[in-house]
Amino acid sequence: MEKLLDSYKKIIALVVYLIINSFFIIKYAVRQDYFSTLSLFVIYNILVIIGIYLIYFFRDFISKVKKVDYYFLAVCILIFVVFVLINIFIDGNTLNSDRWSAMHTTINGVLNGNYPYSLKDHLGQTSSNLPGLFFIGLPFYLIGNVSLLQPFIFLIISLLLFKSKLEMYKKAIIVFLLIASPAYLWEIFAKSDLLSNIFILVFFIILWDNKFKLNYFKYPFLLSFFIAFLVLTRGIVVIPLTLFLFSSFIKSTNKEKFKFSVGFLINLTLISFPFLITLPEIEVIKEHNPFNHQTRFTPKWVQITFIILPFIFGFRIKKIHQVIFQSLLFLTLLLFLSFIIEIVDEGYKNTLYNSSFDISYLTMILPFSILYFITSTKKLDLNYF
């Protein structure tokens, strides 16, 4: 029964992956005249399923190839180089996406002592980057190109997979599902930081579970730093983090709870400090702040509901695979519900083709859908260290 349920969940994970990417196919297929949208939709989904099947079918052969891990790493490094070249040669100022310039403008503003949320990016929009994204993007800003964050995260994924004890065919499927994803490739071409942000979140959850499986709150102050940092990237990360830690927090000692809570408040302040010293008068803050941007697609009642529900379901979570699957479900329900509400308000064509809803937000689900599809429910054992 458990294996059957696991199979159904894996199918759900794959279906979610295909639906998200199909939306990108449908939206951008109209920009070419060679194939109909329906043809591209069908061809894409068939090719992905065939690709997964072929990798699985030849799994034994793949595992027997001498030094297969190093061939895998070499291919990943080649893909990384291609991603770097794409980011170097595509002029960000020609793009209709401003994620890269929002990050650049935010970092530049803070470093020059200016309040970043009243500054305009290359599309004339204001930024919604929280302080955590400032520090994530800072190294790449200093080398002259914040959009190199995305290729760098792919390189980290590759290195972690190389070191992991996953079977080689599973590593191959993960990379295949990434490069076969129009949603992920859009992130690369658009120089977006969104999916990189979520991958960093997933890295933390998996690595912390591997290191401190018996007691997540063994080092409460250190944990509070990472949680404060992640919360100060995007508000939506609260959902997976709550599912991951809430049950353990309840079971932790009073001393651990106190250290974590105090540390969380201290670290929130310290991480936000570069932004706090640039604060202008209250009227400017009310008009220009990141929360107005990050929540504009989702009604308040939906936001409140999905803040509360993870605490309720978090009580029942005991293993990391449950965190991954429930994060997948919650993010899927939240984002698709927001999408549907926007369709009801604005109409399907305006929502999808005129971007009254930014479908790139759906890509936040991809790391969870890919990870759950490829790993066992019994043990999410990547053992990186």
Cα separation of 98 and 177, whole Å? 26
Q: Is the pLDDT of residue 380 over 80?
A: no
Tokens of 106: 């935010």
Q: Is the pLDDT of residue 14 over 60?
A: yes
- Per DSSP, helices labelled H in the chain are 2-29, 37-57, 59-64, 68-89, 99-111, 131-142, 149-163, 168-179, 182-189, 194-211, 220-231, 238-251, 254-276, 282-287, 290-294, 300-314, 320-346, 348-352, 366-374
Tell me, what's the pLDDT at 191?
94
Tell me, what's the pLDDT at 295?
60
Q: pLDDT-based confidence at 348, cuts 50/70/90? A: confident
Q: Residue range 221-240: average pLDDT?
A: 95
Q: Which of 96-100, 126-130, 357-361, 372-376 has the lowest mean pLDDT?
A: 372-376
357: amino acid identity, one letter: F
- Give residue-wise pLDDT tens across range 145-182: 999 999 999 999 999 999 988 899 999 999 999 999 99
Count of all residues that appear for the chain in the document = 385
DSSP track, 342-381: HHHHH-HHHHHTS-SS-GGGGGGGHHHHHHHHHS-SS---
Q: Residue range 308-315: average pLDDT?
A: 88
**Chain centroid to CA 289:** 22
Phi-psi sector, 115: left (phi>0), alpha (psi -120 to 50), beta: beta
Cα separation of 177 and 184, whole Å? 9
- Give residue-wise pLDDT tens across range 57-102: 999 998 888 889 999 999 999 999 999 999 999 998 898 888 999 9
Beta carbons of 155 and 76 less than 8 angstroms apart: yes
Q: Residue range 193-217: average pLDDT?
A: 94
SS3 at position 190: coil
First-to-final CA distance of the chain:
33
Tell me, what's the pLDDT at 279?
86
Beta carbons of 195 and 136 less than 8 angstroms apart: no
List, in order, residues 6 or more apart from 259 with CB less than 8 Å away: 220, 221, 224
Beta carbons of 196 and 34 less than 8 angstroms apart: no
Task: Identify the H or E element spanning 384.
Answer: none
Q: Is the pLDDT of residue 272 over 90?
A: yes
Tell me, what's the pLDDT at 35?
85
Tell me, what's the pLDDT at 296?
60
Tokens of 147: 């959009």
**Chain centroid to CA 56:** 26
SS3 at position 129: coil
Mean per-residue pLDDT of the chain: 90
- Give residue-wise pLDDT tens across range 358-371: 899 999 999 999 99
